[in-house]
Amino acid sequence: MSNAGAPARNKATRREWIGLAVLALPCVLYSMDLTVLYLAVPYLSADIQPTSSQLLWIIDIYGFFVAASLITMGTLGDRIGRRRLLMIGAGAFGLASVLAAFSNSAEMLIIARAILGIAGATLAPSTLSLIRNMFPDSGERTFAIGVWATSYSVGGMIGPLLGGLMLEYFWWGSVFLLGVPVMVLLLIVGPLLLPEYRDHHSGKIDLFSAFLSLVAVLAAIYGVKNIAAHGPGWIAALSIASGLVIGALFLMRQRKLEDPFIDLNLFRSKTFSTSLVINLLGLFIAFGSFLFVGQYLQLVLGLSPLEAGLWMLPSSFGFIAGSLLAPVFVRHLRKAVVMCAGLTLTAIGFALLAFAHGPQALGVIISATFIYAFGIAPVITLTTDLIVGSAPPSRAGSAAAISETGAEFGGALGIAILGSIFTAIYRGIMIDAIPEGTPAMAAAAARSTLGGAVGAARDLPDLAGALLLNHARDAFVDAFEFTVIVCALIALAAAVLAALMFRHTRAGEVTEADTKIANDAMVS
């Protein structure tokens, strides 16, 4: 709900379009912060000497706290103001970045990364909900969300480049200082260019609901990531089960509150719920597949990390192009057509990956990843548009937070589930593929992962090492082929779902039933 007395309008002015550029800044930084740390790990490990457990927490805790805090921050923005929350988050992010940069112990860096995660959780729902209010015209909003989605890809692309440059000349902590000038700029120009929006009729925030949502998401995400790292186990199962039980308690509490933390009426909207599912499925296959593609380039084709990163850039360009072209497509075609075409193209891209063999493997991978990134990008943009567009303006922050939480779960589930399928196939093949005479320790390492096989092969005589490595690479390729076909089938299933559920819906439009649900949510 906008401030009282605001003039009614449909088209955005120059101020809103400049404001969109301002909103893109924290989104670029958010994705940069996810990537620059990986380059700094060898340097910070040598300096502050974290244990293996501490190092894992340094890497993962940022993502954990982002995911766990999104729902709280989205709801908080609806109540105190989305611009205000963005400014608070920007200030906290800048200060935490300085703390991380000058950390002199593993414990200090873990705390700084946790604060960065909580601050980072303010960025996505605040920026996305502001876009919902700044661009009431559905066509302009679709384009604005395309720019918003593109900014994350840009951050992911330039993060390793800028991080590598900083590490070339400065200490490891300098990579965290990249965000400070961005946040200072946002704090200066944000109040001048960004309007304030909040729900004037919202009640006090329910702190117990905030606690329940934080613990539920944190436990579930931790369990999923534990599966991705170590495979299924009782710790992961207990963590996920705890998250589900606490999540159920959270939902039960929302039904009893006069002013709930999350308006469950939103899920009665066909547009909202279906968009959320398709968005999650798209990110499920996208995140899961990037993990395998990177390993394929390095461990099967023998490229260096830098070379692999450069050859993965075309997929980023594909995502950027698809995001920016989404509003062009929906001017002429129904949303169902655009989404079905995008998901079908995604399926084709994944199917092509199954033919990455021999001397043409690199060319096939580059082409296939570009195709599926270009195909999935309009789907992510349009489903995000529909998620926030189908919610009433007063609930835009909550809807944006649900969207981003679903995205986090989609990516984490993709890595965990597809990773488990991949690993099970690889290990199943390697049980009978170890050459006779291979030492027990080398055989165990090779059965575990292809990376283990590469390391084991170095310690064996040339012929034995080459033979072991060839078998391991063949097993990896077989597992890769099966996994990408699964991704292709998931994309096709999502295309069918989009065709059935959105056949009468254009981008930015909602059905009459959805409009009634949104109005009921505002009244309640």
> Tens digits of per-residue pLDDT, 178-204?
888 888 888 888 888 888 877 666 667
Quick: pLDDT tens for 390-447. Answer: 777 767 667 777 877 778 778 777 877 887 788 888 888 888 778 877 788 888 887 7
pLDDT(4) > 60: no
* Amino acid 229: pLDDT: 65
pLDDT(459) > 80: no
Query: Is residue 146 very low, low, confident or very high in pLDDT (cuts 50, 70, 90)?
Result: confident
Q: What percent of the chain has pLDDT over 90?
A: 13
| Crossing angle of the two packed helices 207-230 and 52-80, in degrees rounded to 10 | 150
Tokens 């974290």 sit at which residue?
50
Chain mean pLDDT for the chain: 81
Q: Is the dihedral of CA 130, 136, 142, 146 positive or negative?
A: negative
Q: d(Cα 31, Cα 438) in Å, to the nearest integer?
A: 43
**CB 248: neighbour CB atoms within 10 A?**
12
The CA R_g of the chain, rounded to the nearest whole Å, is 23
pLDDT(176) > 80: yes
**What are the residues facing 2 on neighbouring strands?**
197
Q: d(Cα 509, Cα 389) in Å, to the nearest integer?
A: 8
Query: Is residue 266 very low, low, confident or very high in pLDDT (cuts 50, 70, 90)?
Result: confident
| Crossing angle of the two packed helices 462-501 and 361-389, in degrees rounded to 10 | 30
Please tell me which residue, 333 or 397, carries the higher pLDDT value: 333
Q: Which residues fall within 8 angstroms of residue 12, CB to CB, at 6 or more apart?
A: 134, 135, 137, 140, 144
* Amino acid 456: pLDDT: 79
Per DSSP, 227 falls in state: H
pTM for the whole structure? 0.77
Q: d(Cα 118, Cα 214) in Å, to the nearest integer?
A: 10
* Amino acid 334: pLDDT: 85
Q: Which amino acid is at 269?
A: S
Query: Is residue 1 very low, low, confident or very high in pLDDT (cuts 50, 70, 90)?
Result: very low
432 vs 180, 426, 464, 471, CA distance in Å?
A: 53, 11, 16, 10
CA 260 to chain CA mean position, Å: 26
Please tell me which residue, 70 or 491, carries the higher pLDDT value: 491
Quick: pLDDT tens for 12-49. Answer: 778 888 888 888 888 887 777 766 776 677 778 778 87
pLDDT, average across residues 258-282: 82
Instruction: Single out the residue of 507, 253, 284, 511 nearest to residue 415, CA to CA.
Output: 284
**CB 459: neighbour CB atoms within 10 A?**
12
Quick: pLDDT tens for 238-248. Answer: 988 998 999 89
